[in-house]
Copies of this chain bind each other. A is one copy, B any other.
């Protein structure tokens, strides 16, 4: 099939899905979960081919681990699908409903978006994950996975197709672009006649490509420099725990912090504590001049910050450190250095907290908590479609509701406008 045909099939399937009951959608998901586990041997064999190819091309251990499936991981993916079954279906609920002066009952009813295009890299679980979330919300999906998981995805898509067929749902509900070549990605990004939303799940390069080429609305997300600001009124002993958690709990993810800002009145006391803890955790500090003076005496490795360091998402055991005069300079730093994901203030001051909440340009702002909480599961959304760092449609972790739109419904008795 070419893209035009895939678009048509997806659009037709979306109309079917929009009128499919929650029970029928859940049934298809349960079949999919069971079929996944039943096909484990085939999936693992295919995954083995992908892993061999990756090893041959010299892929590093951490990336290999991302690609790798095993029986426990397949079980976990199947269980994630079962979890989606247990979530409430947002489709059909009314956002609001009122009677206008002219007697018309006017409501907004939640409806599926229609067709969702998803472009992703590496991790094979995304294939099942996104297919399940879209199906649950009545959206058809067109998926394009990375080359690295080509064989694995072929098997996963086979399972999805079986589940759709067994549930009398059209194959257009979930389609996968198997053909190699950038032109398929570019084509998908311009399929605005059929596709309502594009979700890129990958690195900044992929997001930039989507932003530049898409004629379809794109959900941009997953990036941004993360900051913790330690105010002078913070409990410095407990602050160390939060900074440690925000930096080292899982350093490779987007809600880990990149930069620590410290109030000048707290720096002399706090930075030695910081150096001790960071030395213990193997974190290298990258400090501006004033902070460097205080950190040089400590046990942690430290180097002077250079141009661009405070604009770098480290995704590892590195932490920028800067002393600021207070919450205003902290906010100015955030605004200057691409804060858009998750940022925190540690403070006892009500006014500092409120200033920071209002002024931080971030999707998620924390007071006395780690930035690591920005996550669909942590926020109780039940599932996470993506983490948006743009401001339209959805911001921060996106759950099932963010895969829906609404329509206005006006009901009256042969009412005309005067």
CA distance A357 to B407 in the complex (A): 9
- A395-412 at interface with B (beta carbon < 8 Å): 395-397, 405-412
The verdict on A52 contacting chain B, using a C-beta distance below 8 Å, is: no
Expressed in whole angstroms, the Cα–Cα distance for A104 and B245 within the complex equals: 16
A357–B335 CA distance with the chains assembled, in angstroms? 45
| A196: B residues at CB distance < 8 A | 390-392
CA distance A373 to B411 in the complex (A): 11
Contact status B392-A408, CB under 8 Å? no
Residue among A238, A357, A374 with the highest chain B CB neighbour number at 10 A: A357
Closest Cβ of chain B to A135, distance in Å, is 18
Does A287 sit at the interface, judged by CB under 8 A?
Answer: no
- The contact string, 1 if C-beta is below 8 Å from chain B, for chain A 217-257, is 11000000000000000010011011011000100000000
Smallest CB separation, A215 vs chain B (Å): 5
CA distance A213 to B104 in the complex (A): 40
Q: Are A373 and B414 in contact (CB under 8 A)?
A: no
A-side interface mostly: mixed
In the complex, residue of chain B having the shortest beta-carbon distance to the beta carbon of A255: B417
In the complex where A358-B19, A393-B392, A408-B365 touch, is A416 in contact with B370 (Cβ < 8 A)? yes
Q: A249-B417, A408-B365, A417-B249 are known contacts. Are A391 and B212 too (CB-CB below 8 A)?
A: no
B366 touches A414 (CB 8 A): no
- How many copies, total? 2
Question: How near does chain B come to A248, taking the closest CB pair, in angstroms?
Answer: 11
Contact between chains at A417 and B378 (CB < 8 Å): yes
**Which parts of A76-110 form the interface with B (CB within 8 Å)?**
98, 100, 104, 106, 109
CA distance A353 to B417 in the complex (A): 20
- Nearest residue in B to A370 (C-beta to C-beta)? B416
**Contact call B241/A416, Cβ cutoff below 8 A:** yes
Task: Confirm or deny: A346 has a beta carbon within 8 angstroms of a beta carbon on chain B.
Answer: yes
Is A367 in the interface zone, CB < 8 Å from B? yes
What are 29 contact pairs spanning A and B, CB under 8 A?
A: A11-B335, A19-B358, A100-B378, A100-B379, A104-B369, A192-B211, A196-B391, A196-B392, A212-B215, A217-B217, A217-B390, A241-B414, A241-B416, A242-B416, A245-B417, A249-B417, A346-B414, A364-B410, A365-B408, A366-B412, A368-B414, A369-B410, A369-B414, A369-B415, A370-B417, A372-B416, A373-B417, A374-B408, A395-B408
